[in-house]
Amino acid sequence: MDDNRTNLKKQAILELIGQKGGKSSACLSGDWTLSNLTIDASLQKNIKQAANNSHLHWDLHSVNVLDNATALWLWQAWGQSLPAELEIKPEHLRLINKWQSQTVPDSSSPGFSVALTANYLAQMMANVFKQFLDFVTMLGQLLLDIGHLLRHPGDIPWPEISITIFESGVRALGITALVGFLIGIVLSYLSALQLKLFGAEIYIIDILGLSIIRELGPLLAAILVAGRSGSAITAQIGIMRVTEELDALSAMGISHSLRLVLPKVAALTVVMPLLSVWTSATALIGGMFSAQNTLDISYQQFLIKLPDAVPLLNVFIGLGKSAVFGLMIALIACHFGFCIKPNTESLGNETTNSVVAAITVVIMVDALFAILFMDVGMP
Amino acid sequence: MSQPDAVRMEHIWTRFADKVVHKDINLTLPQGEILGLVGASGCGKTVLLREIIGLQIPSQGEIVVMGESLKTISSSHGKRLRNHCGVLFQKGALFSVLDVFENIAFPLRELGVDDEEFIKRLVFMKLEDVGLSARDAWLKPADLSGGMTKRVALARTLILEPRLLLLDEPTSGLDPISSQDFVDLLSGLHRDLKFTVILVTHDLDILRDLCTQVAVLADQQLVAFGTLANVMANPHPFVQRFFHNQRAQRVFQYQPQAQPLPSSGTPHG
């Protein structure tokens, strides 16, 4: 009765016995399970070798356990037919016979075809168009929400805005300061080497001031925030989709846009210029530190010369574009968050897409600002 | 030749910080039985199941699975033991990045099987066993209904033909028809493959139609263990409330199938 019950320590055993008259036989005993079979590679090899001998007598009477997978494996080793001489328990024979009648559906890939490629491209274009449409819809809804909040200031979600300012701004102070400081040192050090050649050491202040305040500070802060907070926002909204929190909000009649998108957009639009000033300041400190060590330009000299080298308009350009960076990062992060489907693959893909898209858009906006304000703020 | 018990628990205590979840639990389950583990929500049924799987270690006591103590088992034996234990999680736990075919084939590939023809034949057979068609093999888990997800998860669990099957609320979230289908399916597979099953459930129909043994957890202890009839006669207040309320009475009075098989399970301790 307990034939099929097992002890884990039992092995699958194969004995090849030569008999008188030149007839030899393969005796199988023990537990013939897939687990036992895969543990012992030599067993598989020996069975396959033995199966090549079409006159071999197979004795499976002493097999205690034979599972479906091993029955299939033996049947395949025998060339998908039963050996001429086989002794086997009826219940085990049933397992092997089951495979003889099985039909396997064709699962071969359809291969390359023009129609399939065209279909793939059409789907890709439709997807891009849908993404664009969703983004514009979200933007439109955001404008409507802003209109609503102007009429009903009591509905402004202050707690959500405050939390996002803390998470995306305050908690990013450390990393932005470190990166800014190090970039300031690197930039100052590399520029100093070139300026020394021409005896134009004093221009280090112009180079550092203009490049950091107008370009590098806002850009570095934006890239860090896109990677740090953008991905977090996308994943957070995506998880809310997976756990049906978004549906719960809808069921309660609460607008996703008002409660989720707007606070993040508002918070990042406020936080980004502040982080940009902070990053620029730490980068300038790093630059000053390096300039003093490599070019003997004192901190005092650096600070006195800086306002002359960098007109105030550059600070405003930096602040303005930082606000736009923050707005775009939040919008893109929210958009990709809502694109997430309830599975782990989608969560990973959309979070990656969100960060890549945010950084790309930040650089595109930066280029646009550079062209639009080409003649503004130059000393 | 004597066979080891499927599961033997000796003096199991589980504590989470100051909270005691299990207090001196003893249980012996022979191979071939279907044990239904019941108890109030939050009483530690799933924790006990996780301890049998080896995902959690009890604070005190010993668990012996298929003759191997989880305390002293070596890593190679542990891996082998896991091949003999199939686990069906409450929500199926299918890998969402893989389609149905690859989900079912996953344990085979992990075992080192690389013969694609072999894998294909086995996977399609298991799909058929759990009542799914070959067309379903290319669906992603996100496209499956609750019942299909459970079936695919069961196919993945059964692909290595485990000797011990652990199911965490296998019919939760299923409609009555799918739930009954699942019970019939499990019953048929148990008849063919003769594995041991431990299932955590609140479903009285499963206890009536499928389980050969019932264990009741209450007050951090195993308060009743045995056949359904024996357990129902237990005077413990929780057992009385659980099995003798109006709803339970309606379920147990309606007998569409034969009574559960006579059992050889024995509580001890």
pLDDT in tens, B200-221: 988 888 888 889 999 999 988 9
CB A16 within 8 A of CB A50: yes
| Start-end of H helices in chain A | 34-39, 41-51, 68-77, 90-100, 114-151, 158-164, 173-198, 204-210, 217-225, 231-242, 245-251, 256, 262-295, 299-309, 312-339, 344-372
**CATH class belonging to A12-100:** alpha beta
The CATH number of the domain where B188 resides is what? Answer: 3.40.50.300
Q: What pLDDT, on a 0 to 100 scale, did the predictor assign at position A271?
A: 96
CA distance B22 to B222: 8
Q: What is the largest CA-CA distance in chain B?
A: 56
Residue B70 — pLDDT band, cuts 50, 70, 90?
A: confident
In a domain, B235, yes or no: yes
B29 Cα to chain A: minimum distance (Å): 13
Instruction: Name the residue among A6, A33, A343 with its Cβ closest to that of B96.
Output: A343
In a domain, B41, yes or no: yes
Q: Quote the radius of gyration of chain A (alpha carbons, Å).
A: 35
Query: Under 8 Å CB-to-CB from A235, ≥6 apart: which residues?
Result: A337, A347, A351
pLDDT surpasses 70 at A327: yes
Residue at A338: amino acid letter: F
Residue B188 — pLDDT band, cuts 50, 70, 90?
A: confident
Q: Which residue of B has its CA nearest to A76?
A: B118
pLDDT more than 70, % of chain A: 94
Q: What pLDDT, on a 0 to 100 scale, did the predictor assign at position B225?
A: 92
Rounded mean pLDDT of B221-245?
89
CA distance B122 to A99: 9
Least confident of A4-18, A54-68, A166-180: A4-18
Does this complex have an ipTM over 0.85? no
Give the best residue of B95, B194, B261 to mutate against chain A (max A CB count within 10 A).
B194
Q: Is B37 exposed, middle or buried (0-12, 13-18, 19+ CB in 10 A)?
A: buried
A222 Cα to chain B: minimum distance (Å): 32
Least confident of A96-105, A330-339, B112-121: A96-105
Q: What pLDDT, on a 0 to 100 scale, did the predictor assign at position A73?
A: 87
Q: What pLDDT, on a 0 to 100 scale, did the predictor assign at position B68?
A: 81
CB A271 within 8 A of CB A222: no
Task: Give the total number of structural domains in chain B.
Answer: 1
Among A168, A347, A151, A132, smallest CA distance to A264 is for A168
Rounded mean pLDDT of A320-345?
92
Residue A338 — pLDDT band, cuts 50, 70, 90?
A: very high
**CB-CB neighbors (< 8 A) of B164 in chain A:** none
Give the best residue of A1, A3, A7 to mutate against chain B (max B CB count within 10 A).
A7
Give the pLDDT confidence of A288-326 residue by residue, as tens digits.
999 999 888 888 998 999 988 888 899 999 999 999 999
DSSP state of B41: T
pLDDT surpasses 90 at B190: no
Q: What pLDDT, on a 0 to 100 scale, did the predictor assign at position B55?
A: 82
Q: What domain range includes position B214? A: 1-66+167-269
Give the pLDDT confidence of B40-57 residue by residue, as tens digits.
888 889 899 888 888 888
Q: What pLDDT, on a 0 to 100 scale, did the predictor assign at position B160?
A: 86
Paired strand residues for A87: A59
Residue A238 — pLDDT band, cuts 50, 70, 90?
A: very high
**Chain A contacts to B (CB-CB under 8 A):** 2, 4-9, 33-35, 38-39, 67-69, 72-73, 76, 98-99, 102, 104-105, 107, 341-345
Instruction: Name the residue among B95, B97, B142 with its Cβ closest to that of A342.
Output: B142
Higher pLDDT pick, A304 / A13 = A304
pLDDT more than 90, % of chain A: 45
**Chain B contacts to A (CB-CB under 8 A):** 3-4, 31-32, 66-68, 77, 80-81, 83-84, 95-97, 101, 108, 111-113, 115, 117-118, 120-122, 124-125, 134, 137-138, 140-142, 159-161, 163, 193-194
User: Is this prediction's pTM over 0.80?
Assistant: no
The pair of structure tokens assigned to B246 is 């109006």
pLDDT surpasses 90 at B14: yes
> Do residue A34 and residue B113 have CB atoms under 8 angstroms apart?
yes
CA distance A114 to A127: 20
Instruction: Name the residue among A68, A102, A345 with its Cβ closest to that of B97.
Output: A345
Higher pLDDT pick, B187 / B73 = B187
Least confident of A104-113, A169-178, B253-262: B253-262
Higher pLDDT pick, B23 / B96 = B23
Q: What pLDDT, on a 0 to 100 scale, did the predictor assign at position A4?
A: 42
Q: What pLDDT, on a 0 to 100 scale, did the predictor assign at position B267?
A: 46
Whole-number mean pLDDT of chain B? 84
Q: Which residue of B has its CA nearest to A4?
A: B194
pLDDT surpasses 50 at B266: no
Instruction: Name the residue among B3, B95, B111 with its Cβ closest to that of A7.
Output: B3
Q: What pLDDT, on a 0 to 100 scale, did the predictor assign at position B152?
A: 92
Instruction: Name the residue among A6, A8, A341 with its Cβ closest to that of B142.
Output: A341
CA distance A84 to A80: 12
Whole-number mean pLDDT of chain A? 87
> Do residue B122 and residue A345 have CB atoms under 8 angstroms apart?
no
Q: Which residue of B has its CA nearest to A343?
A: B96
Ramachandran angles phi, psi of A127, nearest 5°: -65, -45
pLDDT surpasses 70 at B78: no
Q: Which long-range contacts (CB under 8 A, 24 or more apart) does A72-76 make?
A: A72/A99, A72/B118, A72/B121, A72/B122, A73/A34, A73/A37, A73/A44, A73/B118, A74/A32, A74/A47, A75/A99, A75/A100, A76/B115, A76/B117, A76/B118
The DSSP annotation for A281-314 comes to HHHHHHHHHHHHHHH---HHHHHHHHHHHS-HHH
CB A69 within 8 A of CB B122: yes
Give the best residue of B80, B132, B138, B149 to mutate against chain A (max A CB count within 10 A).
B80
CA distance A214 to A315: 6
Higher pLDDT pick, A236 / B97 = A236
Residue A9 — pLDDT band, cuts 50, 70, 90?
A: low
> Do residue A72 and residue B67 have CB atoms under 8 angstroms apart?
no
For residue A329, count other CB atoms closer than 10 A to its CB: 31
The domains of chain A are located at: 12-100, 139-372
Q: What pLDDT, on a 0 to 100 scale, did the predictor assign at position A20?
A: 55
Q: A121-135, A272-286, B78-92, B179-193 — which one is most confidently predicted on average?
A: A272-286
In a domain, B124, yes or no: no
Residue at B198: amino acid letter: I
Residue A350 — pLDDT band, cuts 50, 70, 90?
A: very high
> Do residue B115 and residue A107 have CB atoms under 8 angstroms apart?
no
Strands (E), B164-237: 164-168, 196-200, 213-218, 221-226
CA distance B171 to B202: 9
pLDDT surpasses 80 at A235: yes
Residue B264 — pLDDT band, cuts 50, 70, 90?
A: very low
Q: A151-155, A323-327, B57-61 — which one is most confidently predicted on average?
A: A323-327
pLDDT surpasses 60 at A6: no
Among B29, B195, B71, B94, smallest CA distance to A33 is for B195
Q: HSE on the CB side for A282, CA within 13 Å?
A: 20
Q: What pLDDT, on a 0 to 100 scale, did the predictor assign at position A86?
A: 83
CB A227 within 8 A of CB A330: no
**CB-CB neighbors (< 8 A) of A38 in chain B:** 111-113
B82 Cα to chain A: minimum distance (Å): 10
Rounded mean pLDDT of B172-182?
80
Ramachandran angles phi, psi of B170, nearest 5°: -65, -20
In a domain, B153, yes or no: no
For residue A223, count other CB atoms closer than 10 A to its CB: 19
DSSP, collapsed to helix, strand or coil, labels residue B213 as strand
CA distance B105 to B124: 10
Cα A17–A19–A25 angle (5° rounding)?
45
**CB-CB neighbors (< 8 A) of A102 in chain B:** 121, 124-125
